[in-house]
Amino acid sequence: MHALSDPARTALFIQIASAACAQTCIALAGGVVQAIPKSTLSQHFKVLREAGLIRSERQGAEMRNTSRCAEIDERFPGLLQALVDAYKRQASWTSSPRSAANGDVTRKS
C-alpha cells in the first residue's frame, strides 16, 4: 500500500499496468504530468519493484518495466482495480476547478 501512496508513483504504475507491452523508464516518464528528475524517477521504480508491483529487466542500456497485476490479482482479487479506481476518482476531483473551489468531496456521475 505504501508503494501506491505517492500520486506520481501511482500514475507510473497505472501507465505500466495499462500498457500492452514492457515500457522503458524514459517512455513512462513522458506520460507523467510533472517533470520528475531521473534520480526521483529511479527511486519510484525501486519502490514499485520492492513492493512486488512491477518487474524490471535490463535490455541493453534500458530498463523495461512490466506489471505483475495478474499475479497480484490472483492472490488479492480486485485489490489493484479498487486502488486504480480510487486514484482516478481522486485525480478527477482535484483536476475539477469547480469541485476544488467548492470544497466538494463528492461527485455526481
How many angstroms from the chain centroid is the CA of residue 91? Answer: 12
Q: What angle do CA 72, 77, 79 make, to 5 degrees?
A: 75
Kindly report the pTM of this predicted structure: 0.69
One-letter identity of residue 48: L
How sure is the predictor about 101, in pLDDT bands with cuts at 50, 70 and 90?
A: very low
pLDDT in tens, 17-59: 877 777 766 666 655 556 778 888 889 999 999 999 999 898 8
Residues 6+ apart with CB under 8 A from 21: 66
As a whole number of angstroms, the distance between CA 59 and CA 79 comes to: 30
The domains found in the chain, sorted by start residue, are: 2-94 (1.10.10.10)
- Of 65, 87, 69, the C-alpha closest to 78 is 69
